[in-house]
Amino acid sequence: MTTELIDIISSKEDDEWEQSINSNNFKEGVFCIHRSWGLGKVKKIDESNDCVIIDFKGKPSHQMALDFAYSSLTVLSSNHLLVLKEEKLSYLQKLSLENPVELIKIFVLSFRQKATPERLQAVLCPEVVSADQWKKWWENSKKIIKKSASIRIPTRKSEPIVILDKAPDNYSLFIGTLQSALPPRKKIDALYKILKEIESWNDQDQALKAIASIESLLQQAKEDSFPTLDFVLLKEEIIQKAKISLPSEKEEDLFVYIPEKYDLLLSSLLRLSSINQERVLWLLWERKNKPIELFFDLLTNADGKLADNIVKIFEQSGLTDLLLEKFNRLIRERALSVELLYWLCRNKNNLLQPLLNSDLFYCILYVLERELGSVGKKAEKLYDLLTTGTGLIQGLLSASSLDDVKDITRTVLLSPVFRELDKRSLLGAIVKVRPEVQELISGNRGIEGENTLIVSWSSLEEKKRELDELVRKKIPENSKEIAHARSYGDLRENHEYKAAKEMQAVLMRRKAELESMISKARATDFSDVDTSVVNIGTVVHFTDLKTNTPSSIAILGAWDSNPTKGIISYLAAFGQSLLGHKPGDVVQVAMEDGNTKEIRIDKITRWIDAPSV
């Protein structure tokens, strides 16, 4: 199907959103944009002195020659998203909650070809949508957009979002996709998505046309890899939705279309709806005389939907003991996939409850450690399920012995998988199940307490920014590099892949270091420091007794060292030598080069009262 799209670049209507400067639009109070300095607001136009004063965010009251302003600035409409952020932020915040479609339309009209999902996040976060709510907000907004059918979201983050002039016709879209040059597997995926939106196919002529096109494709199919089964089932679904009656002799035997090759069978099953999956599985089960090993192989690579149907067949066939034995073996061998583990942990089927035990906990931990550094949603979902709430831990550990729970507690304490706050949450859940392990955790925390770091608020924020950049930018970029390098094939001789994996190890090690440092940090502004003795947050005024030279040094937090400004960390040798001494004390202080120096402490003051030493 062809749809008329708004051409955001050339439309005269959209020219108003960004305009070249002229005497009519360049006025005091308007917003403009500069390529380097960003958004600014015209504060004053002084034509007598041939200049203009503009408040840029990083350059308040910046003076520019009028000629230069006219050639380098672009005026923004009052409806431009950047202007609304400055002038009507609460309105945009309200739109984000009540009408995200309208908000995204404003974004598209503001940025035109540059209106990518990537830029949308950069523009809206954190002022309009907070960073921690972004993922949830965007997923919900995409669902609303899909229903509205007025906006097209691209598959790639770097491609522009487009406003549609009119909603697409699903029937025509289906026929158009069916007749397109897409590869068969991509075509079938697209067709199922479109058909899902069609509750009933009212136009039988169009339905018959679609059926004829499918039959033509089936007749032309020559490769074994062609998804014949999918197209046959698709044809059946159209017949049902269009309520077309076929003579009994025209009804086909679905079994003959089921792929013999395992890979083709699995990929087809994973694409099918739950109802069609069950149909195909029962046909295989009955016609192939209960092929148990085949079903076990399918189970190993199943998603939750396929696993549900396989379990149902074993249950109805009275083979539950055999199924549980297989699951136990997969758990012992740590052979369950992330997706199957997630499904198993969420499953409410009483049949599978005996599998929730300490062995399954170790299997989950093994898989998460194997996926360490992965940014895949499946691994994240399993991680969140384990570390959020106490329900899963209750199920996994309630029947375990105290010794087993203690072993698990020690494993959690030492595991690099968990972020520090999540680790504490998980340990808290374990204590609720078995309070006896509290002493074990407290003993470990006592050791950790000895390593508490006193830091300034500014240095803590800097470490958090570094961690945020790692998690949001550098690690995802590295994961893309690994995937890209893997596509070159032959990993043994793939230098790009090896380099990307080595960088992954560096990034993950730094991430673990930062998380550990931040978890041990106790931030302060040094305002309540005791100046009767040398403490963290004091300035020590002293005299070098060898040269009789007065000097001063500020002793601040663990990450505040800046010797050129007269600031050292309390962890430095010099700082450690001074801590606890009072005015008048003569102290042998250790220097970083291993030598010592004799000084006399003359006075101790608060650093916060005179931060420049």
Does 342 map to a domain?
no
DSSP 470: I
Token pair in block for residue 488: 């070159």
What band does 8 get if pLDDT is binned at 50, 70 and 90? very low
Distance CA 276, CA 510 (A): 48
Do 246 and 239 touch, CB atoms closer than 8 A? yes
Q: What is the largest CA-CA distance in the chain?
A: 112
CA-based nearest residue to 269, from 237, 302, 236, 238: 302
Give the strands of the sheet with 73-76, arranged side by side. Answer: 18-20, 73-76, 31-34, 38-46, 51-56, 62-65
Q: How far is CA 530 from CA 535, 538, 551, 589, in A?
A: 7, 8, 21, 21
In this structure, the answer to whether residues 69 and 103 fall within a common structural domain is no
What band does 263 get if pLDDT is binned at 50, 70 and 90? confident
Mode of pairing for the β-strands spanning 549-556 and 567-569:
parallel
pLDDT above 60 (res 82): yes
pLDDT digits (tens, 9 = 90+) for 386-395: 888 778 888 8
Q: What are phi and psi of 105, to 5 degrees?
A: -65, -40
Lowest mean pLDDT among 16-30, 112-126, 207-221, 483-497: 483-497
Question: Which pLDDT does position 282 carry in this prediction?
Answer: 94
Distance CA 371, CA 105 (A): 38
Question: Which pLDDT does position 223 carry in this prediction?
Answer: 65
> Is residue 400 classed as helix, strand or coil in its secondary structure?
coil
Question: Which pLDDT does position 563 carry in this prediction?
Answer: 83
List beta partners, residue 65: 51
Question: Which pLDDT does position 249 carry in this prediction?
Answer: 52
Mean pLDDT of 137-164: 81
In this structure, the answer to whether residues 517 and 499 fall within a common structural domain is yes
Question: Which pLDDT does position 6 carry in this prediction?
Answer: 27
Does 191 map to a domain?
no
In this structure, the answer to whether residues 477 and 509 fall within a common structural domain is yes
Question: Which pLDDT does position 449 carry in this prediction?
Answer: 47
Please identify, among 26, 42, 76, the residue that sits at the C-terminal boundary of a domain: 76
Mean pLDDT of 580-595: 83
How buried is 610 (Cβ within 10 angstroms: 0-12 exposed, 13-18 middle, 19+ buried)? exposed
Q: How far is CA 438 from CA 52, 306, 387, 405, 443, in A?
A: 67, 41, 18, 11, 8
Token pair in block for residue 322: 């055999």
Distance CA 501, CA 482 (A): 7
Do 62 and 54 touch, CB atoms closer than 8 A? yes
In this structure, the answer to whether residues 119 and 138 fall within a common structural domain is yes
In this structure, the answer to whether residues 575 and 597 fall within a common structural domain is yes
pLDDT above 70 (res 43): yes
In this structure, the answer to whether residues 564 and 581 fall within a common structural domain is yes
Q: What are phi and psi of 42, to 5 degrees?
A: -70, 115
pLDDT digits (tens, 9 = 90+) for 401-428: 888 888 888 888 877 778 777 888 888 8
What band does 554 get if pLDDT is binned at 50, 70 and 90? very high
Please identify, among 472, 497, 523, the residue that sits at the C-terminal boundary of a domain: 523
DSSP 549: E
Does 10 map to a domain?
no
List beta partners, residue 46: 51
Does 592 map to a domain?
yes
Higher pLDDT, 194 or 114: 114
Distance CA 605, CA 531 (A): 6
Does 2 map to a domain?
no
Question: Which pLDDT does position 70 carry in this prediction?
Answer: 84
Question: Which pLDDT does position 348 carry in this prediction?
Answer: 81
pLDDT digits (tens, 9 = 90+) for 191-239: 777 777 676 677 777 778 888 888 887 777 766 667 888 888 888 888 8
pLDDT digits (tens, 9 = 90+) for 316-369: 999 999 999 999 988 888 888 888 999 998 888 888 888 988 889 888 888 887
pLDDT digits (tens, 9 = 90+) for 472-482: 888 888 888 87
pLDDT above 60 (res 376): no
pLDDT digits (tens, 9 = 90+) for 502-531: 788 788 878 877 877 887 788 888 888 899
Domain with 40 in it: what CATH number? Answer: 2.30.30.140
Question: Which pLDDT does position 1 carry in this prediction?
Answer: 27
Higher pLDDT, 406 or 487: 406
Please identify, among 44, 60, 76, the residue that sits at the C-terminal boundary of a domain: 76
Question: Which pLDDT does position 12 carry in this prediction?
Answer: 31
Distance CA 227, CA 259 (A): 8
What band does 375 get if pLDDT is binned at 50, 70 and 90? very low
In this structure, the answer to whether residues 53 and 96 fall within a common structural domain is no
Distance CA 335, CA 317 (A): 25
Roughly how many angstroms between the first and final C-alpha of the chain, as a whole number? 72
Q: What are phi and psi of 585, to 5 degrees?
A: -70, 140
Distance CA 161, CA 164 (A): 10
CA-based nearest residue to 164, from 176, 182, 146, 177: 146
Does 487 map to a domain?
yes
In this structure, the answer to whether residues 562 and 593 fall within a common structural domain is yes
Residue type at 238 in one-letter notation: I
In this structure, the answer to whether residues 550 and 507 fall within a common structural domain is no
In this structure, the answer to whether residues 503 and 546 fall within a common structural domain is no
Lowest mean pLDDT among 13-17, 39-43, 417-421: 13-17
Question: Which pLDDT does position 197 carry in this prediction?
Answer: 67
Counting the structural domains of the chain, the total is 4
Average pLDDT of the chain to the nearest whole number = 81
**Range(s) of the domain holding residue 112:** 83-163
Does 12 map to a domain?
no
Tokens 């549900």 correspond to: 308
Tokens 């075509």 correspond to: 187
Distance CA 104, CA 268 (A): 36
Domain with 582 in it: what CATH number? Answer: 3.10.50.30
| Spacing of C-alpha 265 from chain mean position | 32
Do 568 and 452 touch, CB atoms closer than 8 A? no
Does 269 map to a domain?
no
pLDDT above 80 (res 433): yes
Share of the chain above pLDDT 70, in %: 87
Distance CA 528, CA 606 (A): 9
Do 453 and 557 touch, CB atoms closer than 8 A? yes
